[in-house]
Amino acid sequence: MGILFDEGKQTFSISTKCSTYQFMLDPHGFLLHLYYGKRISGNAGYLLKYLDRGFSGNPACVVNDRTFSMDVLPQELPAWGSGDFRSPAFVVEKEDGTRSVDLRYVTHTIRTGKYGLPGLPAVYVNEDDTAESETLEIVLKDSVLSLEVHLLYGVLPELDVITRAIQVRNKGAETVYLDKLLPASLDFITGEYDLLTFHGRHTMERLVQRMTIGYSEERIGSRRGASSHQHNPMLVIAEKETTDTFGDCYAMQFVYSGGFQAEALKDQFGTTRVQIGLQEEGFHYPVATGETFTSPEVILSFSRDGFDKLSHNLHDLIRDHICRGKFKNRPRPVLVNSWEGSLWNIDKNSLLSLAREAKGIGADMLVVDDGWFGNRDDDNSSLGDWYANEKKLGGTLGSLIEEVNRIGLKYGLWFEPEMISEQSRLYEMHPDWALQIPGRVPIRGRNQLVLDFSRKEVRDYIYDAICAILDSGNIEYIKWDYNRSIFDVYSEAADHQGRVLYDYMLGVYEFLENLTNQYPDVLIEGCSGGGGRYDAGMLYYTPQIWTSDNTDPIDRMLIQYGTSFGYPASTLAAHVSKSPNEQTGRVTPISTRGIAAMYGSFGYELDLALLTEEEKQEAREQIATYHRYEDLILSGDYYRLSDPAKDAFCGWSFVAKDGTEALVSAVILRLCSNDEIFYVKPKGLKSGCIYMEEETGDCYDADLLMSAGLPLPKEAGEHRAYQFHFILQPE
């Protein structure tokens, strides 16, 4: 396992427990991709065939050899200007508009431990297990531009994970512009593939789309300045027959929270190319003489056993090597959030009575959402004015927090740090701090503008304001919201506007890095109108994210199902809300809402005073149940047990890593009279063993359960839900 360079065959092999990634250094100094898939010990160089292909040009170094063309050969970093007409991963422009780059190998190093990326979130390896990770750094050079490109590969062999990032160093005399940079590009010489993407919209994120990669260029992404609700920066490439439990598949996940793009195509000779990286339209990044540009990284993973295993690789990676801080492997507080119950209509009395109700059902924390600051009574004002509205709060924020603490609850608070309202003191003082193009009236989103986080003085001001609030009381949780897309890209401070969106994200990351260092005990939950910035980049700073503004438990089945392909349950915040549901008007039993929300970090978001005594009792029992299973939910292996887009029920389970217990849940999605019996088939139990279902005391043969399933009760009533806790029996 690990990284090897075969001098004789001039081949680089990166091997993990189950996969091998291989490419060769050809005699002309080009890096040609050979293979990614099941672990191999052989050399895949024989796969390359050199043929004279019409209209595919030949680089000067091969003289008259018409069989050598970069237009046909598989590549590690397809660059525009090399003669490859397929979609490039790297495009560089000179001041005069010339776009061409010719990269050749200079040197490489292999070292222990995984590389880090300055100023960017990245997979990290804990100090005690650095020996297990390795880095390969390859230096390529364009001698005309004097441009050095460093290809970085990291490997975490046990997790079947390889990472890729790129650094570009300008050693020439003039500034060059990066116009396109996709840090990972995979060329599959053989095979027919499907692409799975995770698309959506506000309140309906990460729905699964599976399509054939054919002779066209498919492109998904976000031009919104954030990774977005519309597409998630994560891809799965699968062989045609691959299912959850069978077949080869690959993941590509971008560790970045700004705009991204991903492309998939089959070229004219049948090679499949799939790439992911920075979004092109918003990117024209100047790299001046002596400067280095560092890209975010892409996570690659491979599974030979279908999507479940691929998800496990990503879940383990994100839990242990992306998420950081005190809460990464700890139970999260069960919280009651004020938003859906009260919106902006909060005051001291309503918050304290919500706190008492929250304590009454056994919650751990009260989170005061939007509306506590400035003159904020709706979404038209006050963003940027981060001082407490003492009139509303009936005194200082600190005294409110003390009262909440006295009730026996922790206290959490909502912020939207990256935004500014035109109706705010901050805007009166610094209108130029908002991103807007001189001479144009900016496009508003939720009647707010975006603060120019690429500027240090802007970040510093907001940072100080937020710290002053955090220092004013015992605040143990922050909800970091972000509620619009970026349209008007112009920063007063930038030497070139083509850098602003990228520098904006670097600014957000720097801010979060400082904040998490200064307040290591504060749990931060990411949010962007729900899941509009649900990505591995944010998870580096915020170990959980508000999954969606849609709290309807039935819609949530689709959202949580899609999210589960790339992200572990520990990162997913899910709350019980009122019925009929705020977003859909659907009526569901509180028991179903509870089971649906025990999918990650659990909480409530409704006016608890409106619950009946029976419902309050049920909520109390739900919290107790959640606490009983939270370790299993947050750190067990997650399995999808049905496809909610097709099946009549949504089933899922969490299985302890040692197989000793499993929590199987199912929500009935469709009901009709005199219907067939639905069987939920658990996965991941220990073969040859007996499990007892805790509530009934019934014992089951694990193999029988996994092959024939467990019948779900037949009960009248819309959207019933069931939970079964299986315990491994001693032999």
Min CB(526)–ligand DGJ separation in Å: 10
Confirm if 280 and 258 have CB atoms less than 8 A apart: no
Pairing of strands 335-337, 601-604: parallel
Least separation, in Å, of the C-beta of 509 and ligand DGJ?
21
Asked if residue 346 lies in contact with residue 353, where contact means CB atoms within 8 angstroms, the answer is no
Q: How far is the CB of 81 from ligand DGJ (least distance, A)?
A: 44
Task: Determine the Cα–Cα distance for residues 37 and 541; give it in Å rounded to an integer.
Answer: 31
Which are the contacts of 483, defined by CB distance < 8 A and separation ≥ 6? 379, 416, 419, 445, 446, 448, 528, 529
Nearer to ligand DGJ, 70 or 523 (CB): 523
Instruction: Specify whether 369 is catalytic.
Output: no
CB burial class (10 A; 0-12, 13-18, 19+) of residue 332? buried
CB of 343 to ligand DGJ, least distance (A): 8
Alpha-carbon distances, residue 160 vs 155, 503, 637, 638 (angstroms): 8, 32, 16, 17
Least separation in angstroms between CB 506 and ligand DGJ: 24
The catalytic residue among 179, 535, 552, 605 is 535
Q: Which two tokens stand for residue 650?
A: 């949504």
Q: How far is the CB of 371 from ligand DGJ (least distance, A)?
A: 8
Q: What is the DSSP string of 120-135?
A: S------GGGGGG-EE
> Cα(519)–Cα(141) distance, rounded to whole angstroms?
43
How many angstroms separate the first and last alpha carbons of the chain?
35
CA distance 369 to 352: 14
**3-class SS of residue 569:** helix
Residue closer to ligand DGJ (CB basis): 221 or 530: 530
Q: What is the DSSP string of 50-112?
A: ----TT----GGGTT-TT--TTTS-BSS-BTTSS--S--SEEEEETTS-B----EEEEEEEEE
Question: What is the spatial distance between Cα 88 and Cα 380, in angstroms, rounded to a whole number?
Answer: 43
Strand partners, 576: 604
Q: How far is the CB of 134 from ligand DGJ (least distance, A)?
A: 40
- Pick the closest to residue 43 from 51, 52, 34 (CA basis): 34
Question: b or e along 680-705 (b: 16 or more beta carbons within 10 Å of the residue's beta carbon)?
Answer: bbbbbbeeebbbebeeeeeebebeeb
Contact 437, 490 (CB under 8 A): yes
- Match 């990650």 to its residue by tokens: 600
* CA–CA distance, 214 with 588 (Å, rounded to integer): 42
Nearest to 218 by CA among 199, 200, 203: 199
Between CA 129 and CA 630 the distance in angstroms is 27
Does 535 participate in catalysis according to the annotation?
yes
SS3 342: helix
DSSP-assigned letter for residue 18: S
Cβ of residue 592: shortest distance to ligand DGJ, in angstroms? 21
Tokens 């807007």 locate to 436
Which candidate in 137, 403, 513, 615 is catalytic? 615
Local structure of 539: helix, strand or coil:
helix
- Closer CB to ligand DGJ, 319 or 479, in the complex: 479
Cα separation, 604 vs 192, in Å, equals: 45
Instruction: Return d(Cα 72, Cα 65) in angstroms, integer.
Output: 14
Beta bridge partners of 703: none
Element (H, E) at 504: helix 500-518
| Cβ–Cβ under 8 Å, residues 529 and 519 | no
Asked if residues 573 and 525 have their Cβ atoms less than 8 Å apart, the reply is yes
Buried/exposed 513-533: b ≥16 CB within 10 Å, e otherwise: bebbeebeebbbbbbbbbbbb
CB of 414 to ligand DGJ, least distance (A): 6
DSSP single-letter state for residue 316:
H
Strand 523-526 relative to strand 475-480, pairing: parallel
Minimum distance of ligand DGJ from residue 562's CB (angstroms): 18
Shortest Å distance, C-beta 202 to ligand DGJ: 9
Which is it for strands 601-604 and 523-526: parallel, antiparallel or unpaired? unpaired
Q: Which residue is nearest to ligand DGJ (CB)?
A: 370
Q: How far is the CB of 613 from ligand DGJ (least distance, A)?
A: 28
Contact residues toward ligand DGJ (CB under 6 A) are 339, 369-370, 414, 481, 483, 527, 529-530, 546, 549
Query: Closest approach of Cβ 369 to ligand DGJ, in Å?
Result: 5
Active site residues: 535, 615
